[in-house]
Structure 1
Amino acid sequence: MSDVPVELLPHLRRARDVADRNYAEPLDLAALAAAAGVSKYHFLRCFAAEYGETPMQYVTRRRIERASDLLRATNLTVTEVCGLVGYSSLGSFSQRFTELVGMTPSEYQRTQEGLRIPGCFVFMLGLKSAIPEKQAGGAVEYRRTESPAEEES
């Protein structure tokens, strides 16, 4: 059990939710602390005590998890995935991916079997509707997009 005050937990969850929703955007400690409504250093200490990693380690892990989903499920290039998950440097992305996954993004993509969603559909339908997202409680939600033929009938 952490030493984080119980009344601060909803604020930490709010900041974590902001990180989950905006992982592809530039995020920094100050922005996440502002979402929690506390100073950045207090936020850093409490977040690490509660979740076992710093806020930026959490954001990095979420970005790499999302990248692995995209590399597994789509035919997007590593460079495209790099940009979609919030990295501006392919080198930094590849280094972090390799540290957390144990292989380069290209190696990971080659090892994944199965049908892939064409990248054009991912962009056409919107990234969030083409790739499943875990919801609260562990459920996976797929948002269906009606095709023009289905809308006419």
Structure 2
Amino acid sequence: MTLEDLVRLRRARDTMDRDYAEPLDVTALARGAHMSPGHFSRSFRAAFGETPYSYLMTRRVERAKALLRRGDLSVTEVCFAVGCTSLGSFSSRFTELVGESPSAYRAGPHDDSAVMPACVAKIHTRPVRNRPADDARS
């Protein structure tokens, strides 16, 4: 992989970080990186350790956790606010990454993270795939 490829992949990842709530797809991201969708997906995974779709969904779940902690939006409203179009898919992915359903997460206590600076909270609340369920609410 060339340095130019890495720069393009980083720009695509930055787009996902910034525009996570927008309707993004691998084809459009690949076009922006001047790569075919297949090459883009393989290169993204090689560079960042997960597929573009997986990265995007992790980012959306991360933002959903923050919205659910506030408690003023329903799970459905949060689903659409973070750019998901299917409540079922959103709930499944959220449960997979966090270890509990969005409703259970919303109902749980969140006082510790409320007083944490945002930069610290981001480190500790980022969803991590394959974390043990009893360890998932850190």
> Which structure 1 residue ranges, 4+ long, deviate > 6 Å from structure 2?
none
The answer to whether the 8 Å contact 2:67/2:78 transfers is: yes
Superposed CA offset, 1:20-79 (max 9, x none): 121111111111111212221111111000000010111111111110111113421111
**In the alignment, which residue of structure 1 is the partner of 2:55?**
58
Q: What is the letter of the counterpart of residue 30 of structure 1? A: T
Name the CA distance, whole Å, in 1 between partners of 2:66 and 2:90.
Answer: 15
5 Å matches for 1:116-131? none
Q: What is the letter of the counterpart of residue 32 of structure 1? A: L
Q: Secondary structure at the match of 1:50?
A: helix
Name the CA distance, whole Å, in 2 between partners of 1:110 and 1:95.
Answer: 17
Q: Secondary structure at the match of 1:59?
A: helix
Matched, 1:22 2:45: no
Name the CA distance, whole Å, in 2 between partners of 1:7 and 1:96.
Answer: 32
Gaps of 5+ in 2: 112-116, 124-138
Task: Give the structure, 1 or 2, with the largest relative contact order (CA under 8 Å, sep 6 or more).
Answer: 2
Matched, 1:79 2:76: yes
Scaled by the length of structure 2, the TM-score of the pair is: 0.76
Scaled by the length of structure 1, the TM-score of the pair is: 0.69
Q: Secondary structure at the match of 1:80?
A: helix
Return the match for 2:38 from 17, 29, 41: 41
Name the CA distance, whole Å, in 2 between partners of 1:133 and 1:38.
Answer: 35
Q: What is the letter of the counterpart of residue 82 of structure 2? A: V
Computing the radius of gyration over CA atoms, which structure comes out larger, 1 or 2?
A: 1
The answer to whether the 8 Å contact 2:26/2:53 transfers is: yes
How far residue 102 of structure 1 moved from its aligned partner, in angstroms, is 0.3
